[in-house]
Every structure is written in C-alpha cells, then in structure tokens.
Amino acid sequence: MATVAEVSDRYVAENAEADPTWALLVGVAAPARLSDQSPSGHQERAELARRTLRALEVADDVDETGRLGRSFLKGQLQGELGLHDAGEHERNVSALNGPQAYVRQVFDLLPQASEADWQAVAECLAKVPQAMDGYRATLEAGLAAGRVSSRRLAQAVAAQCETWAGQDGSGWFSSLARRYGQGPLADRLARLGAAADASYRELGQWLATAYAPQASARDGVGPERYQCWARLTLGAELDMDEAYNWGWEELGRLEAEKQREAGRVLPGATYDEAVALLSTDPSRGIEGVEAWREWLQEVTDQAIASLDGVHFDISGPLRVCEVRVPPEGSAAAPYYTPPGDGFGRPGAIWFPAMGRSWFPTWDMPTTVFHEAVPGHHLQLGLARLLPLTRAHKVGSNSAHSEGWALYAERFMDEIGGFERPDFRLGFLSMQAFRAARVVVDIGLHTGRRVPPGWPSAGQAWGYDLAVEYIKSASGLSHAFCESEVLRYLSMPSQATCYKLGERAWLQGREQARRQAHGSLDLKKWHNRALALGPLGLDALLAELARAARGSGGPS
C-alpha cells in the first residue's frame, strides 16, 4: 500500500508534466514548456486529480505529516474538481488569474543569466501561441455550452492583451527577447517574441470583437457558483448570510477607528482630508520607480531583522525576500511569488507601478508586512523548509495564506510596528479595505442589497457602487479600485478569504490563549501554527483547536 507521502510525490511529479505553467509558478522543476490550455489539457489534469483522490482514499497515513498531507491534498483536489465539473475553466476570463496572465508571469520567473537559461526562455516563448490558441478553444467550448464570462471581464482582458502585444515590435515579449542582446539565439528570440506578441494581439481582438458580444451582461455569478468557488478558496462551506452581516459589523468598527487615526495625522481632519494630504504631500512620498523599489526593500529587510528570534524564528533562506516591479499591464494589486526548489529562486514581492513616477508611502509598510514578513514570505517560504508531504509543501489555500497575511498586519500593529500615524492609517485603511471586500464580493455575486444605515442603503450591488465602496474604505485611487472589483468578478469568493481567514487565525489564537490561562507564548504558538502547513479553514480551525488542547499536532 502506498503512503500519503508517496501519493503526494507522484501527484506533484505528474502534475508538473501535465501543468508545467503551474510548476514554474510555484517553483517546482518542470520542462521548459507551457501548459496545454485546450479542453483536452484541462481534461487531462482533471483525470489526474481523480486518480490521485482515489489513491488517497486507500493510502497509509503513517504519521502526522501524512495525516495533514492527506487533509490538504484531498481538500485542494476536491475543490479544483468542483470548479472543473461546473465548467468554470470554460469561462475563466481574468486579468489576474487567467491563462494569459499566468503565461506572461512565467517569464518573470525564468532565469536569464546564461545561454542555457535563454534556451529555456526560447523554448517557452515558442509555446506561447499554442497556449493562447488552446485558451481560446476552451473559451469557445464554453460559448458553445452556454457557459460565458461577463462582458466587462472580456473587455478588460482584451485591453490587457492589447497592452502586452504592443505595436511595431514594442510588445512585451519582443522587449523580453531584446534583453538577450547579441548572440546565437538573437534572431530566434526576436522571431519568437514577435510571434508571442501577435498571439496576444489576436486573442485580445477575438475577445473584444467575437467573445464580448456573446458574453453575459451580468457581472455576478449567483449563489450556486459562488459556493462552488468558496469550497476551493476558503476550504469551507460558506454561510453567506452570516459572513455578509459580519463583514458589515467589521467594516463599521474599522471606519470609526480610521476616523480617529485621521485626526492624529491632521488634527480636525476627516479621513478623506487626511488621505488627500498623504497622497499628495511631496515630503510623504518617493520620486522614481527604482527609488521606490529600494525603499520597499529597506522596509522588507528591516522587518525581517527586527522580528527574527523575537516573535518568529526566521531561518537563513527566508531572510532574503526580493522586491520587484512587474511590467505595465499587470493587475494593480501587489503579489508574492514563493521561492523555488532548494531556494535557488528567492521569494519575491511584486509592486506594480501602474504608470506612476511618484509614490505615496503611507499605505506601503502594512502591505510589505502582508506580502513579505511576517506575512506570505514567512508562511509560504517556511512551508518549503518544513517536513511536509510534497504537495502540501508547494501548495496553498487562499483563505489560509491571505488570512495569515492579514493577521500578520494586525500583529505588527499589536507590537507597535507602525511608528507613524501615516503608516497606522495605512494599516487601518487596508483592514477596512478587506472588510469592504467581504460585503462587496458577496453582495455583487449573490444579489444582496446594502443594509440600512450605510450609503446607498437598499440599493442592489453593481460595479460602480462596488468601486465607490472599495475606494471609500481603502483611500486608494479610482483606477486601483476598478482593477480590484474586476478581480473580484473573475475570482468569486477569493476577496472574502482575507478577513474570514484572519478571523479564523484570531479564533485559533484566542482558544490557545484560553487553554494557556492567558500566558500564551506567542512565538511558540506562531511556530506550531505555521508548522501545520496550508489548510482550508474548516481543517485549520480543527487543527488549531486540537493543538490548543495538547492532543497532538506539530511541536
């Protein structure tokens, strides 16, 4: 009988062959090619998931690592198959997590230092047109089956493709090819870059002229599809009414605290007035993309140095987290990419410049804590060092990871990590932003209305109202907030993962504190909790409760 660890190893190896784009993005060694995005490629990966689930049913746990590994992989594969069987891949039109976005992102992560590196880049570039053709074929299958995305999303991704395609050799892939310089691969890279640009241009034109007219005028997905997404992103059966009502309560609490902190930034000011000052005052910002990136790197490095050995144990490889700026056309939100196998590729946080040359800083430290340390880099990077099963080590659950990252921001506030009112207002704004995500996302997708006592009370949620709520809560630019709402529309329920995930982490910590009669050693608790590896929320709460009772779990 195979063990869970053996099933896990086999799954990662087979999935790297079937889905090399996934493997490259998560840092697993994979062939220098891109995933088949056609209907047959999706079917092949679904069959692999089904075989793996059958193998897990009869696999031997052996130990605690196997028990946790089974829980993670079973929940992940069941969630993915739920979406596949519902045909969600046939209407996956998203500027953030659509195939066109993942394919381009792969090239950010491929090394470019040697001739062999560039040979691998060329091999992947050669597969870009095929990947885009396969993606289009999958969307065409969705059209034929009556499974379509929204017109708004189709238009947004069409514009993204046009941006990356460029004109007259100015496309993103042609620019990548030119980084090679002169050498034996120069002509081939130039041809492949131009072909990749052309494939994005053709996809964008097809989305705009053929797909969008047949797409849905409705933005939301409805309760049934929403629950299907929640099973994957949250790892739980979502009580939508409870979550929606709790989201409003949390947003109200944070709005009041934001107003108090705004008065510390500028006495007597409203929140909007304080944000206007912080967003325009030359002395409170940084000029130049590279200077901004360097400042963000300093904040990252300082957080690692100050927390290591005090509140967390940060091992050697995790003391390096690079700050990078992705190309224009990327989604507006910062994001994290984990280290590769053996940490040959370091973990990195990516901050989109969005065409700006001057950058306010008031909302940036809290985002660094979220994306780097003690947030994603510590959590997801640490998983690469833990004695977990292979799939568990390289996997993730959105509510687990985003909930931890939001908990990390709150923990930094608890220990006085925001030394200036500017930065603390940024923290509160990001907390309110995530609370607004809960009500906006559930409201948009499931047809709820704004409750009494709030702006636009009684009104049904729509795109414009959602943008205004996100802007009011976060204090961020209108363009950023539009990008955010497009993201919610393309990834139902994912926007709720932050606050609902944070709530689970806080519940687990409070339960441990009660069991310890108020004398909880937080450093030890952090170590034990993170050593569980990624889990869905139902499993996470059960494991944190189990560890608090002292009935097992990682030490």
Three-state SS annotation for 167-233: CCCCCHHHHHHHCCCCCCCHHHHHHHHHHHHHHHHHHHHHHHHHHHHHCECCCCCCHHHHHHHHHHH
Q: Contact 86/26 with Cβ under 8 angstroms?
A: no
Residue whose structure tokens are 């340390």: 373
Instruction: Report the pLDDT value the prediction gives residue 283, as an integer from 0 to 100.
Output: 96
d(CA 254, CA 43): 45
Residue 468: give the domain boundaries.
Answer: 231-497
Could you tell me the two tokens for 409? 């921001």
Give the chain's domain count: 1
308 pairs with which residues across the strands?
312
Could you tell me the two tokens for 8? 């896990």
Q: Contact 532/543 with Cβ under 8 angstroms?
A: yes
Which of these, 367, 371, 356, 377, lies nearest to 292 by C-alpha position? 356
Q: Contact 375/347 with Cβ under 8 angstroms?
A: no
192 is a domain residue: no
Instruction: Report the pLDDT value the prediction gives residue 554, as an integer from 0 to 100.
Output: 41
Longest dimension (CA), the chain: 70
Q: Contact 271/262 with Cβ under 8 angstroms?
A: yes
Helix-strand-coil split of the chain, %, nearest 5? 65, 5, 30
Which of these, 248, 196, 240, 209, lies nearest to 222 by C-alpha position? 240
Instruction: Report the pLDDT value the prediction gives residue 331, as an integer from 0 to 100.
Output: 66
320 is a domain residue: yes
Instruction: Report the pLDDT value the prediction gives residue 277, as an integer from 0 to 100.
Output: 97
348 pairs with which residues across the strands?
322, 337
d(CA 542, CA 83): 25
Residue whose structure tokens are 């993670």: 72
Per-position pLDDT tens, the chain of length 555:
899 999 999 999 999 999 999 998 888 988 889 999 999 999 999 999 999 999 999 999 889 999 999 999 999 999 999 999 999 999 999 998 999 999 999 999 899 999 999 999 999 999 999 999 999 999 999 999 999 999 999 999 999 999 999 998 899 999 999 999 999 999 999 999 999 999 999 999 999 999 999 999 999 999 999 999 999 999 999 999 999 999 999 999 999 999 999 999 999 999 999 999 999 999 999 999 999 999 999 999 999 999 999 999 998 899 999 999 998 776 678 999 988 877 888 999 999 998 999 999 999 999 999 999 999 999 999 998 999 999 999 999 999 999 999 999 999 999 999 989 999 999 999 999 999 999 999 999 999 999 999 999 999 999 999 999 999 999 999 999 999 999 999 999 999 999 999 999 999 999 999 999 989 999 999 999 999 999 999 999 999 999 888 744 443
430 is a domain residue: yes
d(CA 403, CA 312): 17
Please state whether the peptide bond connecting residue 374 to the residue before it is cis, i.e. omega within 30 degrees of 0: yes
208 is a domain residue: no
d(CA 444, CA 219): 7
Phi, psi dihedrals of residue 349, rounded to the nearest 5°: -110, 140
148 is a domain residue: no
72 is a domain residue: no
d(CA 75, CA 212): 34
Instruction: Report the pLDDT value the prediction gives residue 136, as an integer from 0 to 100.
Output: 98
Q: How far is CA 282 from the centre of its chain?
A: 31
In tens, the pLDDT along 169-222 reads 899 999 999 999 999 999 999 999 999 999 999 999 999 999 999 999 999 999
Q: What angle do CA 495, 500, 505 make, to 5 degrees?
A: 130
Q: How many residues does the chain have?
A: 555
Instruction: Report the pLDDT value the prediction gives residue 471, as an integer from 0 to 100.
Output: 96
pTM value is 0.94
Q: Contact 82/91 with Cβ under 8 angstroms?
A: no
d(CA 163, CA 401): 31
Cα–Cα distances in angstroms (integers) from residue 216 to residues 263, 336, 356, 492, in the given order: 45, 32, 33, 16
Q: Give the helix/strand (H/E) hosting 336.
A: strand 335-337
Residues 6+ apart with CB under 8 A from 530: 378, 379, 382, 383, 404
Say whether 283 sits in a helix, a strand or coil.
helix
Q: Contact 198/129 with Cβ under 8 angstroms?
A: yes
Which contacts qualify for 183-192: CB closer than 8 Å, 24 or more apart?
183/115, 183/118, 184/115, 185/115, 185/118, 185/119, 185/122, 188/122, 189/118, 189/121, 189/122, 189/125, 192/122, 192/125, 192/126, 192/128
Q: How far is CA 261 from the centre of its chain?
A: 29
